[in-house]
Amino acid sequence: MGPVTRTMAVINVTPDSFSDGGKFLDPHQAVDRCLELAAKGADILDIGGESTRPGVSPVSAAQESDRILPVLEGIRDRTSCLVSVDTYKSQVARAALDAGAHIVNNVGALQLDPGVAEVAGKAGAAIVLMHMRGIPRTMQTLPPSRDILKEIEQSLARAVDLAVSRGIARDRIVVDPGIGFGKTLEDNLKILNRLPRLRRLRLPILVGTSRKSFLGKILDIPVQERLLATAASVVMAVVGGAHIVRVHDLDDMVHALRIADSILGERRIC
């Protein structure tokens, strides 16, 4: 069997996330969910206190911190999983890292708050640099990119340079093309089809397709019925070179990944 694809399990501590908003808003329920996912084999727990779905309005750093810190404190020393905080704000990132998080999952790849890089660098934390066009409130109203692959590659390369310049070790950087974040349906399909292009950055690649709207557009199905569609997209991402996949339905995706990893074996694209 070849290299193993790692899983990043989603825990949204929000009232309005597109897929499971409100389900884990209560800190006790969120802690229980984190521990459940850890027991089921998640490699990374990704805790987010602000929805970044299209059209959403931002929340304050204080409100975001109030949502995630009790969860981080509740799981601290109770799991061996790596813990990620899904934020683009330096103030939230600093508080989360102080509370025990190991990774900053940074929507916007440092465009929205470059100070996140310095915070992560000083803490010795890892960072995921995720490409996004525009901001969540308006990203799906932007005109289509003339060359989405070139745009992603250049934007992420600049973000990597900034991260390194602010003290983040290169071996602690992961890149994410940002499926769905300001991209058209055609863009998302092209990104997955040509994912190996991102290997030019010589960094691990994270891909998040779980339950996203482009799957629903293809099949005309609601978010609750996108399990098999997600599995298909996750497997294609692995074939294209993804090292980490961000998922909601951990059990089923672990099964899909074990089959994909087994088939690819030593010929796995790395």
State the catalytic residues: 212, 246
| Cα Rg of the chain, angstroms | 17
End-to-end CA distance of the chain: 14
The torsion region of residue 219 among left (phi > 0), alpha (psi -120 to 50) and beta comes to alpha
Beta bridge partners of 205: 175
Going across the sheet that includes 206-207, the strands are: 173-176, 126-130, 103-107, 82-86, 44-48, 6-12, 244-247, 206-207
The torsion region of residue 167 among left (phi > 0), alpha (psi -120 to 50) and beta comes to left
Q: Where does 220-249 have alpha helices with state H?
A: 227-239
What does the alpha-carbon distance between residue 250 and residue 246 come to, in Å, rounded to a whole number?
9
Instruction: Record the tokens describing residue 85, joined without a space.
Output: 């905080």
Question: Which 3 state secondary structure label does DSSP give 237?
Answer: helix
**Single-letter residue type at 162:** L
Pairing mode, strands 6-12 and 244-247: parallel
